[in-house]
């Protein structure tokens, strides 16, 4: 089936142009001459952007069926305008070999509603095996330099040097200094365990600014020493920004990611939301949050990805020291970011269309173009002739997040009760409306 999307404001490669898009056999074409009996979608008053590429998700499949699976979480992603995801390796079993990668690919092939790829996880013991795998088979190497869900901590300096010096694949690093975290954890458990002060407000004190900066500094220095392509995941502090450059993306070997949650929440929100916003690295101060926004605007932070990480509500309702870290967020990540561009420090809401015209092109770079470039994703991330027609059509309009609107298997979100001011009118995946589409594995050109 062919399609025409008419009269929308097309947001692509830094421009906003009112016009039509033509889809033929799943791909974008320059004109309508190739189309056969196209179906027309009206987009008057709407913004058409490339489908979001979320390069950091935990769909918990295989191994954690009570929390999530590829079917539920991919449908939540698609509902939010996310058309491609890269899933993390800390599942059960962990994705640390080619055999485990192939098993996860089979799961996604049968269950996923969005295009998909996977990272392979580094361990202290598998570096040689990782380096031997064809780099076009997977998205990146995930390196945990701080322990998190499914503890895959890599702390052997010799093994790290081998990985950084020999890898031909992008390394994506979770950076928190483990010895600092463990020392803080011991101290705060001695002082607060079982006491009134044992709340999620301790989280940014335990997984502290210092822990993040020291680990990120070490990773960046190692990458500079060996000329390694390094992507720092979920930057959470103002101090880390000093380690990054705002040179053009094509000239960078070291890039950085921020999550909507670290741009939306700060430590004042622990009082109301508690463990619901406990994540690793921790959500920190309002000063850090505003600095991250500045880093996004200034080009120090290159991509926005969710680190979508669901846990059951029962797990989150445990005491602070027992509750796992992670937040479900992919269904509303695009809307959160559009909402956030209404100036995170503003006291008066500006005009919706003015803000969209000013910031939406930047948002498209951070959520669509740059992820495709950094991860070498072929034929996606742009609205270009010949590319797959993955796209989202946004329209102004109020939308309140309620449990009934959530598609996550865990059934909850820290955004419940929030009113957002942008809705998804349509999402296309591989040239088809979302309800009729079929997902594909992502292909890589580097």
pLDDT at 345: 47
Residue 324 clears pLDDT 90, i.e. is over it: yes
> pLDDT by residue (tens digit) across 244-262?
999 999 999 999 999 999 9
Residue 67 clears pLDDT 50, i.e. is over it: yes
Higher-pLDDT residue of 266, 153: 266
Average pLDDT taken over every residue of the chain: 95
Backbone angles phi, psi at 195, to 5 degrees: -105, 175
Mean pLDDT of the region 23-44: 95
Token representation of residue 142: 């995930």
Going from the C-alpha of 288 to that of each of 212, 237, 294, the distances in angstroms are 12, 5, 10
Mean pLDDT of the region 400-425: 96
Residue 343 clears pLDDT 80, i.e. is over it: no
Instruction: Please state, in angstroms and rounded to a whole number, the distance separating the CA atoms of residues 405 and 265.
Output: 21
Residues near 347 by beta carbon (within 8 Å), at least 6 away in sequence = none
List the single range of 24-28, 134-138, 341-345 with lowest mean pLDDT: 341-345
Residue 96 clears pLDDT 70, i.e. is over it: yes
Residues near 34 by beta carbon (within 8 Å), at least 6 away in sequence = 2, 22, 24
> pLDDT by residue (tens digit) across 344-397?
444 444 566 666 777 899 999 999 999 999 999 999 999 999 999 999 999 989
Instruction: Please state, in angstroms and rounded to a whole number, the distance separating the CA atoms of residues 29 and 384.
Output: 8
Where do runs of H (alpha helix) occur along 66-202? 70-79, 98-111, 127-132, 157-166, 178-192
pLDDT at 350: 52
Going from the C-alpha of 251 to that of each of 14, 304, 373, the distances in angstroms are 19, 19, 12
> pLDDT by residue (tens digit) across 104-128?
999 999 999 999 999 999 999 999 9
Q: Residue 340 — very low, low, confident or very high, per pLDDT cuts 50/70/90?
A: confident
Residue 127 Cα to chain centre, angstroms: 25
Instruction: Please state, in angstroms and rounded to a whole number, the distance separating the CA atoms of residues 135 and 168.
Output: 7
Q: Write down the domain spans for the chain.
A: 51-378+406-418
> pLDDT by residue (tens digit) across 199-236?
999 999 999 999 999 999 999 999 999 999 999 999 99
Residue 241 clears pLDDT 60, i.e. is over it: yes
> pLDDT by residue (tens digit) across 258-306?
999 999 999 999 999 999 999 999 999 999 999 999 999 999 999 999 9
**115 and 428 in contact (C-beta within 8 Å)?**
no
Cα dihedral across residues 225, 230, 234, 239: positive or negative: positive
Task: Give the Cβ contact number of residue 171 at 10 Å.
Answer: 22
Mean pLDDT of the region 160-166: 97
**61 and 103 in contact (C-beta within 8 Å)?**
no
Instruction: Please state, in angstroms and rounded to a whole number, the distance separating the CA atoms of residues 382 and 363.
Output: 13
E strands within 249-386? 254-258, 303-304
Residue 170 clears pLDDT 80, i.e. is over it: yes
pLDDT at 162: 97
pLDDT at 164: 98
400 pairs with which residues across the strands?
Answer: 419
In this structure, which topology does domain 51-378+406-418 adopt according to CATH? TIM Barrel (3.20.20)
pLDDT at 213: 98
């Amino acid at each position: 089936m062919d399609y025409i999307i008419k009269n929308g404001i097309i947001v692509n490669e830094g421009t906003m142009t009112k016009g039509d898009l033509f889809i033929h056999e799943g791909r974008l074409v320059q004109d309508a001459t190739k189309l056969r009996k196209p179906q027309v979608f009206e987009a008057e008053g709407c913004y058409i952007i490339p489908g979001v590429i979320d390069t950091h998700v935990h769909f918990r499949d295989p191994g954690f069926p009570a929390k999530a699976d590829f079917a539920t979480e991919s449908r939540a992603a698609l509902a939010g305008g996310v058309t491609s995801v890269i899933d993390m390796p800390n599942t059960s079993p962990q994705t640390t070999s080619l055999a485990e990668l192939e098993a996860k690919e089979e799961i996604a092939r049968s269950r996923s509603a969005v295009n998909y790829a996977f990272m392979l996880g580094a361990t202290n013991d598998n570096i040689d095996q990782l380096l031997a795998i064809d780099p076009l088979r997977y998205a990146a190497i995930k390196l945990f330099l701080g322990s998190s869900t499914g503890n895959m901590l890599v702390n052997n300096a010799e093994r790290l040097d081998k990985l950084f010096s020999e890898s031909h694949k992008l390394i994506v690093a979770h950076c928190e200094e483990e010895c600092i975290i463990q020392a803080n954890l011991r101290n705060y458990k001695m002082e607060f365990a079982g006491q009134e002060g044992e709340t999620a407000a301790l989280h940014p004190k335990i997984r502290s600014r210092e822990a993040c900066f020291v680990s990120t500094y070490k990773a960046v220095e190692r990458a500079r020493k060996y000329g390694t392509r390094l992507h720092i995941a979920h930057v959470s502090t103002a101090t880390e920004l000093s380690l990054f450059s705002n040179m053009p993306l094509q000239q960078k070997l070291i890039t950085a990611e921020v999550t909507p949650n670290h741009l939306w929440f700060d430590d004042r929100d622990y009082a109301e939301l508690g463990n619901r916003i406990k994540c690793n690295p921790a959500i920190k101060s309002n000063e850090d949050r505003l600095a991250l926004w500045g880093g996004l605007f200034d080009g120090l932070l290159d991509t926005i990805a969710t680190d979508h990480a669901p846990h059951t509500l029962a797990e989150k309702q445990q005491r602070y020291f027992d509750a796992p870290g992670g937040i479900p967020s992919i269904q509303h990540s695009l809307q959160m970011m559009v909402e956030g561009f209404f100036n995170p420090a503003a006291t008066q809401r500006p005009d919706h269309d003015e803000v969209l015209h000013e910031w939406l092109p930047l948002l498209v770079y951070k959520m669509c173009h740059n992820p495709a470039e950094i991860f070498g994703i072929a034929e996606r991330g742009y609205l270009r002739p010949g590319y797959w027609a993955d796209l989202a059509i946004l329209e102004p309009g109020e939308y309140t997040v309620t449990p009934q609107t959530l598609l996550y298997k865990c059934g909850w979100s820290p955004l419940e009760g929030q009113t957002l001011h942008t809705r998804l009118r349509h999402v296309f995946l591989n040239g088809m409306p979302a309800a009729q589409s079929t997902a594909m594995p992502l292909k890589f050109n580097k």
